[in-house]
Chains A and B, each alone.
Chain A
Amino acid sequence: MKSITTFKRGVAKARREWQESRVDVALAEVDQLLAEWPDNPQLLVMWADLVQLQESKNGPTPEEAAAAYRRAADLEGDLPGALVELGHYIYSVEDDAKAAMKAFDKAILASRRLLIEALLGKAKALQELGRITEARACLDEAYMLRLRDPNGADDSRAFEEIMEQLNEFLHAG
């Protein structure tokens, strides 16, 4: 039976080994975790990061690392962390600034949308707690971020949601 505790413990162990520059040990730990959670985006990103740090020339290739970043991004509907790493990889390893920019743009868009969602959620929680000024600040921030989203209007309800909440505040005084 797979347990979340095992997962967390394994990830923590791999990070410790990585921090101590024991890349092969960290990679072996992530390999083991991936055997149990093969399509876990967090593990795929860690694996790809570590592959690039290994000293052995006979292990998985940098190209396999890039494929793992892409898979992680796909699996979680454009996971920002995977897209950021993919962007760095394309920029530094493939030496392709134009293609890197596309990955970074996708990461920025995905991160911004995630942040808007978080700000809207926090605004609701703060409102319920009567912390109206802070809630309003969250909505203002979400609104400003939303304005920078080049094509958000058609595929997200964030804008309407922000306006609805702002309206509620206005009517509540």
Chain B
Amino acid sequence: MNDDELADDLIPGGLKKLKSYHSDYGKKTYAEIKKLAGANPPDRNARQMKKLIERVKHLKDKPRRPR
């Protein structure tokens, strides 16, 4: 997963219906979202977007992992 990719390019449409998806963060890069999520105080929306992006990465990698 590339840090420079936009959140909207990393999160599939099906997950964009969720409450934890925040469209105003869609044009931010993964790197920007990680930075905001780790800020003090943390940005809750960024944290939720980061979780969604990492969830997608986990699922995309799944068929490559040994069973």
Given contact pairs A62-B17, A93-B15, a sample of 16 additional A-B residue pairs in the complex whose CB atoms are under 8 Å apart = A18-B63, A19-B64, A21-B60, A52-B14, A52-B15, A52-B56, A53-B56, A54-B12, A55-B13, A57-B17, A88-B55, A89-B55, A92-B52, A93-B18, A93-B51, A95-B48
Q: Which residues of A contact B (CB under 8 A)?
A: 15-16, 18-19, 21, 23, 49, 51-57, 59, 61-62, 88-89, 91-95
- B-chain residues with CB within 8 Å of residue A54 when the two chains form the complex: 12-14
Question: Cα distance A15–B61 when bound, in Å?
Answer: 11
Interface hits, B15-65 → A, CB 8 Å? 15-18, 20, 47-48, 51-52, 54-56, 58-60, 62-64
Question: Cα distance A61–B20 when bound, in Å?
Answer: 14
Question: Cα distance A78–B52 when bound, in Å?
Answer: 25
Q: How many interface residues does B have (CB within 8 Å)?
A: 21
Tell me whether chain B's interface is mostly helix, strand or loop, or mixed.
helix
- B-chain residues with CB within 8 Å of residue A91 when the two chains form the complex: 51
- A-chain residues with CB within 8 Å of residue B20 when the two chains form the complex: 93-95
B17–A93 contact, CB under 8 A? no
B55–A93 contact, CB under 8 A? yes
- B-chain residues with CB within 8 Å of residue A59 when the two chains form the complex: 14
- A-chain residues with CB within 8 Å of residue B62 when the two chains form the complex: 18, 49
Contact of A61 among B17, B51, B54, B59 (CB under 8 A): B17
Question: Cα distance A100–B52 when bound, in Å?
Answer: 15
Question: Cα distance A56–B52 when bound, in Å?
Answer: 16
Please list 26 pairs of residues, one from A and one from B, whose beta carbons are closer than 8 Å in the complex, sorted by A's number. Answer: A15-B63, A16-B63, A49-B59, A51-B14, A52-B14, A52-B56, A52-B59, A53-B12, A53-B14, A53-B59, A53-B60, A54-B14, A55-B12, A55-B14, A57-B16, A61-B17, A62-B15, A88-B55, A88-B58, A92-B52, A92-B58, A93-B15, A93-B18, A95-B47, A95-B48, A95-B51
Question: Cα distance A15–B63 when bound, in Å?
Answer: 6
Output the least CB separation between B5 and chain A (Å). Answer: 14
